[in-house]
Structure 1
Amino acid sequence: MTLSSTPEGVSVQPRHLHFDVSEDLKTLWHGDDAFRTAFFNALSLQFPDGEQQFINAVRLYQGKIEDPKLKAEIRGFIGQEALHSREHKAYNEALKARGYDIVGLDRRFRKHMEWVGKLSPSRQLAGTCGAEHYTAVLANAILSNPEWLAGAKPVMAELWRWHAIEETEHKSVAFDVYRECVGNERLRRIIFLFVTWNFFKYTFLNTCSLLKTDGRLWSLRTWMGGLSFLWGKPGILRKCLPGFLAYFRKDFHPWHQDNRALLEKNLRELEAGSLT
């Protein structure tokens, strides 16, 4: 009996793509909008250390998995996350070159990640499942609503949609490992509360820090536009809220949201070089 729940037609394989974003990150690349640019940049700051922690957590249980399909998907998951980490490191280095205090922001988040890395293996894996749920829901939203990246520089939009495609492909891998090796549903939901707090905390703090450097932290117009983007119209977080909350269901599974058709459409566009 296979332990993998990744459905037919979905392959968890890394794509060795590279995105030269150095010039775009010298600008307000998301439609010349300070808040939208800062929000996506703030997300990027969490990825290199965060995704390395996801890899570490899954590796703690990798040797206990015997199902060939899931074992192969774990290798694919590690490969995809390693490449995401590489691309976002380059992304964040470009932000540093623009004058942002990336060293200070990295230090703050790395301290948190070091603390996470000292937790028990079961809690680390539960945290990975929770964080992977956030990235999967946001990925689905980005792929479903390409207008949310309307006005973005083409290479930047392509990077974010590539990342979203691969987050969708491997969205159940850590969950399947957790279900097989830990299986504690109460722990899964409790840890998700902590993941939620830290996800929003660091995204907010990073966004504020970036806006401060841009001289926009106290701009009412910037924040009104930002709040509309997140919670009003288009309201990207508001529209994601039901998906986020689904994680608390006792029968939750990442592929209850079967978005294979959406994935296939975006994969065709990626391969045709027309994601943007």
Structure 2
Amino acid sequence: MTVSSTPPGVSVRPRHLNFDVNEELKALWHGDDAFRTAFFNALSLQFPDGEQHFIDAVRLYRDKIEDPKLKAEIRGFIGQEALHSHEHKAYNKALKARGYDIERLDRRFRKHMAWVSKLSPSRQLAGTCGAEHYTAVLANAILSNPEWLEGATPVMARLWRWHAIEETEHKSVAFDVYRACVGDEHLRRIVYLFVTWNFFKYTFLNTCSLLKTDGKLWSLRTWAGGLNFLWGKPGILRQCMPEFMAYLRRDFHPWQQDNRALLERSLQQLEAGDPA
């Protein structure tokens, strides 16, 4: 029987925090930088529907899990993801109030998610594991590099760090369920390639759509700064690439990136109300 691999000292439990982002999202909240703001906002647009699907995919196998610890972590995972979805719905609603055509962007992504929902349960769970890996790697990077949110308003920095903390806590839950109930390593890695394509596709399309509304889509200065942010210095995606690619190893496991010390420090800062 496969059991939970969440290490000692890590608790998967939802935190009922509320973030009033309405005023924050009336402006370019990330240091008045159009690209950085649009990039993080583009990620947010995928979360409500994406994380609801993660919940649904894990629920398909929940009754097959016997390990009490993993069963409890599934409940925590569902609670955390439900709260993330709720907060990002409010986030995206505030973006709509700013004048972005969020309904059009939502329709485009929901069409994709409707297709995903028609796949076999094993493929849906494999996709969830792959997407959870992307969120876990980005979460670790955000917590490890506070300068990546330098210039962000305190409320927005706190929201993104809270989300990153909980993604780190539950990063092996869907993986453990998959390993216990499906266990097909070939399927896991093949589906990850599709997840990778769609992650970059929708993040890019959403970023472009938001920049277009801001009148910055064809700004060479905006794109030069943005490409430097993603691939140059600091190069947030460039720095994450080795961890992204690690998922393709046969012996991969989410906690091979053992960031418990970072998680503990970040939790202390969150509880102290310190966004940095």
Partner in structure 1 of residue 266 of structure 2: 266
Partner in structure 2 of residue 118 of structure 1: 118
Partner in structure 2 of residue 91 of structure 1: 91
Partner in structure 1 of residue 77 of structure 2: 77
How far does residue 2 in structure 1 lie from its aligned partner after superposition? 6.2
Q: Separation in 2 of the partners of 1:182 and 1:39?
A: 34
Partner in structure 2 of residue 244 of structure 1: 244
Name the amino acid aligned to 2:269. E
Provide Cα deviations, 1:170-190, integer angstroms capped at 9, x if missing partner: 000000000000000000000
How far does residue 24 in structure 1 lie from its aligned partner after superposition? 0.5
Query: Is residue 165 from structure 1 mapped to residue 133 from structure 2 by the alignment?
Result: no
Q: Separation in 2 of the partners of 1:45 and 1:275?
A: 22
SS of equivalent to 1:248: coil
Q: Separation in 2 of the partners of 1:70 and 1:183?
A: 16
After TM superposition, the structure 1 = structure 2 runs for residues 79-158 of structure 1, keeping only pairs within 5 Å, are 79-158=79-158
Q: Separation in 2 of the partners of 1:184 and 1:52?
A: 24
Q: Separation in 1 of the partners of 2:59 and 2:111?
A: 21
C-alpha contact 2:2 2:180 (8 A) present in aligned 1: no
How far does residue 275 in structure 1 lie from its aligned partner after superposition? 2.3
Q: Separation in 2 of the partners of 1:23 and 1:274?
A: 20
Partner in structure 1 of residue 196 of structure 2: 196
C-alpha contact 2:6 2:255 (8 A) present in aligned 1: yes
Provide Cα deviations, 1:128-150, integer angstroms capped at 9, x if missing partner: 00000000000000000000000
C-alpha contact 1:266 1:275 (8 A) present in aligned 2: no
Provide Cα deviations, 1:47-97, integer angstroms capped at 9, x if missing partner: 000000000000000000010000000000000000000000000000000
Partner in structure 2 of residue 227 of structure 1: 227
C-alpha contact 1:2 1:69 (8 A) present in aligned 2: no
- Root-mean-square deviation (CA, aligned residues, Å) is 0.6
How far does residue 259 in structure 1 lie from its aligned partner after superposition? 0.2
Partner in structure 1 of residue 10 of structure 2: 10
Identity %: 85
Provide Cα deviations, 1:114-170, integer angstroms capped at 9, x if missing partner: 110110000000000000000000000000000000000000000000000000000
Q: Separation in 1 of the partners of 2:103 and 2:38?
A: 16
Q: List alignment gaps of at least 5 residues for structure 1.
A: none
Name the amino acid aligned to 1:215. G
Name the amino acid aligned to 1:253. H
SS of equivalent to 2:247: helix
C-alpha contact 2:2 2:179 (8 A) present in aligned 1: no
C-alpha contact 2:30 2:37 (8 A) present in aligned 1: yes
Q: Separation in 2 of the partners of 1:103 and 1:260?
A: 38
After TM superposition, the structure 1 = structure 2 runs for residues 166-185 of structure 1, keeping only pairs within 5 Å, are 166-185=166-185
Q: Separation in 1 of the partners of 2:16 and 2:180?
A: 30
Q: Separation in 2 of the partners of 1:211 and 1:99?
A: 12
Partner in structure 2 of residue 60 of structure 1: 60
Q: Separation in 1 of the partners of 2:2 and 2:241?
A: 32
C-alpha contact 2:2 2:176 (8 A) present in aligned 1: no
Q: Separation in 1 of the partners of 2:2 and 2:100?
A: 47
C-alpha contact 1:48 1:84 (8 A) present in aligned 2: yes
Partner in structure 2 of residue 36 of structure 1: 36
C-alpha contact 1:36 1:226 (8 A) present in aligned 2: yes
Name the amino acid aligned to 2:161. R
Q: List alignment gaps of at least 5 residues for structure 2.
A: none
How far does residue 274 in structure 1 lie from its aligned partner after superposition? 1.0
Name the amino acid aligned to 1:67. D
Figure out how many residues of one structure are paired with residues of the other and give that number. Answer: 276
Q: Separation in 1 of the partners of 2:171 and 2:30?
A: 26
Which 4+ residue blocks in structure 1 deviate beyond 4 angstroms? Answer: none
Q: Separation in 1 of the partners of 2:218 and 2:88?
A: 28
C-alpha contact 1:269 1:275 (8 A) present in aligned 2: yes
